[in-house]
Chains A and B, each alone.
Chain A
Amino acid sequence: MSVYLANRVLRMIPVLFAVVTLVFLMLHMIPGDPARVVLGDEATEEDVAAFRAQLGLDQPLGAQYARFLSGLARGDMGRSYVTGRPVLLDAFERFRFTMLLASASLVVAAVVGVLLGIPAGARPYSAMSALIMVLALLGVSIPAFWLGLLLMLVFSLSLGWLPVAGTGTWQHLVLPTLTLSTWSLGVIARMTRASVADTMRSDFVRTARAKGLHERVVVYKHAFRNALIPVITVIGLRFGYMLGGAVATETVFNWPGLGRFIVGAILARDYPSVQAGILIFSVSFLAINLVVDLTYALADPRITYD
Chain B
Amino acid sequence: MRQLSVVLAVTVALLLAACGGQSDTGTTQQEPGQAPQQEQEQEQQGDTAEKDTLVIANAVEIPTFDVQQVLGIDAIVAIANLYDRLLYLDADDQVYPWLATDWEVSEDGRTWTFHMRDDAVFPDGTPVTSQAVAYSIERAIGPDSPSSLSKTYLQMISKVETPDDYTVVLHTEEPFAPMLRHVGHQIALAILNPNVVEAHNNDLTTAVDAGSGMYKLVEWKRGEHLILERNEDWWGPKPYFKRIIYRPVSDPATRVLMLETGEVDVATVLPNFEVERLRQDPNIKIIETDSIRSMMFLFNWDKPPVDNVLVRQAINHAVDVQAIIDTVLNGYGKPATSPIAPNMRYHVPVHNYPYDPDRARELLRQAGVEPGTKIVIQSPQGRWPGDAEISQAVAGFLNEVGFDAEVRIFGDWAQFLETRTKDEFHLIMTAWAPGSLDADGTFNALFRTGGNNNYGGYSSPEADDLIVRGVQTLDGPEREAIYRDLQELLNEDLPYLLLHNSVSFSGVRANICGVNVRGDDAHIIKDARVCD
Contact = CB atoms under 8 A, between A and B. Distances in A.
Interface of A: 1, 5, 30-34, 36-45, 47-48, 50-51, 54, 82-86, 89-90, 92-100, 103, 149, 152-153, 156-157, 160, 163-169, 172, 251-254, 256, 260-261, 264, 267-269, 284, 287-288, 290-291, 294-295, 297-298, 304-305
A254 B251 CA distance: 8
A291 B146 contact: no
B406 interface: no
A219 B487 CA distance: 82
Contacts of A94: 26, 223
Contacts of B221: 256
Contacts of A48: 147
B30 interface: no
Nearest to B15: A103
B414 interface: yes
B265 interface: no
Nearest to B431: A41
A54 B145 CA distance: 11
B71 A93 contact: no
6 closest A-B pairs by CB: A32-B414, A99-B18, A256-B223, A47-B147, A89-B25, A168-B40
Contacts of B69: 84
Contacts of B253: 149, 252
B327 interface: no
Given A32-B418, A43-B147, A168-B36, 19 more contacts: A42-B452, A54-B146, A83-B63, A89-B25, A92-B17, A93-B222, A96-B23, A157-B257, A163-B261, A164-B258, A165-B258, A166-B247, A252-B253, A252-B254, A254-B247, A260-B250, A290-B10, A297-B3, A298-B3
A84 B224 contact: no
Contacts of B263: 163-166
Given A90-B222, A163-B263, A294 B7 contact: yes
Interface string B205-236: 10000000000000001111100000000000
Contacts of A163: 44, 261, 263
B414 A82 contact: no
Nearest to B44: A163
Which among B6, B44, B147, B419 has the highest number of chain A CB atoms within 10 Å? B147
Interface of B: 2-4, 6-7, 10-11, 13-15, 17-20, 23-27, 36-37, 39-40, 44, 61, 63-66, 69, 71, 146-149, 151-152, 203, 205, 221-225, 247-251, 253-254, 257-258, 260-261, 263, 412-415, 417-419, 435, 445, 452-453
Nearest to B432: A41
Contact of B414 (A5, A31, A92, A287): A31
Given A83-B64, A152-B257, A157-B261, A294 B26 contact: no
B23 A89 contact: yes
Contacts of A172: 40
B249 A254 contact: yes
Contacts of B27: 93
B414 A268 contact: yes
Contacts of B20: 96
B459 to A, nearest CB: 16
A166 to B, nearest CB: 7
B440 to A, nearest CB: 12
Contacts of B39: 168
Which among A34, A100, A169, A294 has the highest number of chain B CB atoms within 10 Å? A294
B15 to A, nearest CB: 6
Contacts of A295: 7
